[in-house]
Amino acid sequence: ANLFFQLINQLYGQTSIIITSNKGPEEWGDILGDPAITTAILDRLIHKSEVIHLTGDSYRLKHRQTIFGNN
């Protein structure tokens, strides 16, 4: 969490950042293990941002091919 915060903090206000996740912001605290740092990360990421929330079946999973054939 600390290293991720340092990265986001260095990039904040200097460049564009694109992050994709299959977890919502409310779950990031559990994933990163530190709710306070997670809040600081999300503050920087969401400030002046456009959040795009996609729903529905995964196109990638729907059309994937595996070593076992089409799934």
In a domain, 48, yes or no: yes
In a domain, 70, yes or no: no
In a domain, 68, yes or no: no
In a domain, 69, yes or no: no
Q: At what angle do helices 25-32 and 35-46 cross, to 10 degrees?
A: 140
In a domain, 51, yes or no: yes
pLDDT per residue as tens digits for the range 4-60 = 999 999 999 899 999 988 888 899 999 999 999 999 999 999 998 888 888 888 777
- Residues 12 and 3 sit within 8 Å (Cβ to Cβ): no
Domain of residue 27: give its range: 3-63
- Residues 37 and 5 sit within 8 Å (Cβ to Cβ): yes
Tokens at 64, concatenated: 């994937």
Q: Say whether pTM exceeds 0.75.
A: no
**What is the count of structural domains for the chain?**
1
